[in-house]
Amino acid sequence: MHTQTSNSNTIKQVSALLKQARHIAVLSGAGMSTESGIPDFRSAGGLWTRDMSLAEAVSIDYFRANPAEFWHTFKSIFSIKLVGNYQANQGHQFLQWLESQGKRVRILTQNIDGLHQRAGSRDVVELHGSLMKAVCPNCQSYYDLQYIREHPVPLCLKCKQVIKPDVVLYGEPVPHIDLAFSCAAEVDCLLVMGSSLEVSPVNFIPRISMDHQIPTVLINLSSTRMDRGFSHVIHAGIGASCEALLQEMNRA
């Protein structure tokens, strides 16, 4: 169970833990990418709290009923025109650095922005899909981001049906969740970064590690309802926290 300590003491403890760990799982949420300029839709100032109807607008039911309106709203919410211009930040780079040290780092991400891959991480499980592509619900043909950008309502070239972004919409099951649960039970350490842990079933991932007595670390700007269950908690920005961890781990 987590006991309150200063961030500086916790940085030292987490650094020691990460140094010893050979197999690390990382659950990353929206807060992981806010320092790259991507909005956190669930934060206190995010779009989700200003207009709860957005949850309806990105549902599978809305896509099926109003595909043209769905795409208009979807592109506006997720700034499709800007997606390819976002850059990985210190948090993404730190995880790639851990991998470069010979550690096995599996990233279980709630994010759909592709920034972990852009930073060079090789083992990334996109639990909620990716903005980088779309798929035809009929023939399963895939289309890239450029094609999505070029067409207000992108149609499948083969079927002429409206294609769907390759992300998990409200009302759809989460792919790879069983893989994530298995991973959480087998690692040396679970690191949760930038997640409010409000979304089910993803918020069960740290519970599985806790149940298996695996050390768990939370790095998040604000507190969550699950803080007390973590071995270590750092309430600070992702970039600053990862820079501090990197410096500590590089000490002789």
Please check whether residues 114 and 136 belong to one and the same domain: no
Provide the pLDDT for residue 244. Answer: 96
Q: Exposed, middle or buried, 181 (CB in 10 Å: 0-12/13-18/19+)? A: middle
Q: What is the pLDDT along the chain (252 residues), one digit of tens a residue?
A: 554 456 889 999 999 999 999 999 999 999 999 889 887 665 544 555 445 466 788 899 999 999 999 998 888 877 765 566 789 999 999 999 999 999 999 999 999 989 999 999 999 999 999 988 999 999 999 999 999 999 999 999 999 999 999 999 999 999 999 999 999 999 999 999 999 999 899 999 999 999 999 999 999 999 999 999 999 999 999 999 999 999 999 984
117-138 burial string, b = 16+ CB within 10 Å, else e? bbbebeebbbbbbbbbbbbbbe
Please check whether residues 159 and 214 belong to one and the same domain: no
Please check whether residues 228 and 149 belong to one and the same domain: no
Provide the pLDDT for residue 38. Answer: 83
Active site amino acids: 128
Provide the pLDDT for residue 205. Answer: 98
Model-level pTM greater than 0.85?
A: yes
> DSSP letters along 164-186, please?
EEEE--BTS--TTHHHHHHHHTT
Please check whether residues 77 and 192 belong to one and the same domain: no
Please check whether residues 155 and 203 belong to one and the same domain: no
Please check whether residues 155 and 244 belong to one and the same domain: no
Please check whether residues 119 and 134 belong to one and the same domain: no
Per DSSP, the three-state class of 191 is strand
Q: Which domain holds residue 7?
A: 1-38+88-128+173-252
Domain count, the chain: 2
Provide the pLDDT for residue 252. Answer: 46
Residue whose C-alpha is closest to residue 94's, from 250, 246, 248, 247: 246
Provide the pLDDT for residue 52. Answer: 42
Provide the pLDDT for residue 44. Answer: 45
Please check whether residues 144 and 81 belong to one and the same domain: yes
Please check whether residues 136 and 234 belong to one and the same domain: no
Please check whether residues 124 and 59 belong to one and the same domain: no
Residue that terminates a domain, selected from 148, 167, 186: 167
